[in-house]
Amino acid sequence: MSFNIRFGSAKDGDNAWPHRKDLVVETVVRTSPDLLGLQESLSFQVEFLSENLPEYEVYEVPRTPDGGESCAIFYRKSRFELLDKGTFWLSEEPEVVASKSWDSSLPRIVSWVRLKERGSGKRVVFANTHFDHRGAMAREESAKLIRKRIPGIAGENPFIITGDFNCADGSAPHATLIGDDGAFVDTFRHLNPEVLPGKEGTFTGFKDADDGRRLDWVICSPLFEVRFAAIDRYRKEGRLPSDHYPVTAVLGF
C-alpha cells in the first residue's frame, strides 16, 4: 500500500488530522498490507499509527534535521526481518542531508529497507518516496536518480517502490522511471493497460470527485508477478481518510 496521509499540521477544518486519524488506521487495517509506504507523514502521525498498528515495525527519517515530512515505511514484523535501511535525498548530492537541486521547492527523499522474509529467506528492497510538487525538472531528475540507485541497492533481489510522484502516468517523469526496457513495472497500468481518463485519479483534495490524475503508484521489478492492483476509494459516512486515495498491489515472488 502507498498512502499519502496529508500532513497532520495542515489547517483542514473538518478534514484536519484529529477528525480522520482513526479512519486512516481503519483504512490500513481493511487492506492489511505487509508493506506500507506513507507520504506527508509527520512524526506525531507516525507515532499514532505505530501505536495503533502494533503488528508493524517502522522506519522513519524526516527530510530535514529539524523534522518535517518523512516517507515512513511500515513492514509486518511477523513476516519480515530488517537487514538494512537507508535514506537518500533527491538531489545532485543524494548523501547530503536536506539537500535539494534543480527546481525543487523542498528537500525530497527516498527511504528504503532491505527485508528478509521469515521462513523462505527471500529478500526484497522496499523504497518509498514523494516527488516535488512544483519542480518539473526536479521530478524528471528524481526519476532518473531512482532508476539508477534502486537497482544498485537491490542487487539481484526484487524491489518495490511506492510513492506520491506528483505527476500522472504519461508524463515525462513516469516515462523516465518506467522506461521501455521492462526493468520497472507500473503495477496498476500493467493490469489495466487501457487508460480511462477521469476514472483513475488518486488526488481528491477531500472532494467528492478526484481530478483524474493518477499521482500515486506502486512500482516493482519484473522479478514479481503482479496479481492485483487497485485504487482504494474507501470512505466512511462521507469522510475520506486523506486528500489522496491509497493505492495497493498484491505481488508474488
Domain range annotation of the chain = 2-252
Q: Band of the pLDDT at 154, cuts 50, 70, 90? A: very high
How far apart (Å, rounded) are the C-alpha atoms in residues 188 and 181? 17
Under the banding of pLDDT at 50, 70 and 90, the label for residue 210 is confident
Helix (H, G, I), strand (E, B) or coil at 145: helix
pLDDT in tens, 63-72: 999 999 999 9
Mean pLDDT, residues 97-114 taken together = 98
Of 160, 151, 139, 141, nearest to 215 (Cα)?
Answer: 139
| Per-residue confidence (pLDDT) for residue 84, from 0 to 100 | 98
Q: Is the pLDDT of residue 197 over 90?
A: no
- How much is the pLDDT for 224? 98
State residue 64's pLDDT score: 97
Give the mean pLDDT of 188-203: 93
Instruction: Report pLDDT digits (tens) over 6-17.
Output: 999 999 999 999
- Check whether domain 2-252 has CATH 3.40.190.10, yes or no: no
What number is the average pLDDT over the span 95-114? Answer: 98
pLDDT at 104 over 90: yes
- Is residue 208 pLDDT above 90, yes or no? no
The answer to pTM > 0.85 is yes
All three cell numbers of 227: 496479481
Task: Quickly list DSSP for 25-82.
Answer: HHHHHHH--SEEEEESB-HHHHHHHHHH-TTEEEE--EEETTEEEE--EEEETTTEEE
pLDDT band at 41 (very low <50, low <70, confident <90, very high): very high
Give the three cell numbers for residue 50. 505505530
Based on its alpha-carbon atoms, the radius of gyration of the chain, rounded to whole angstroms, reads 17
Instruction: Decide if pLDDT at 209 tops 90.
Output: no
Beta bridge partners, 116, equal 81, 123
Average pLDDT, the chain: 97
Given a cut of 90, whether residue 211 has pLDDT beyond it is no
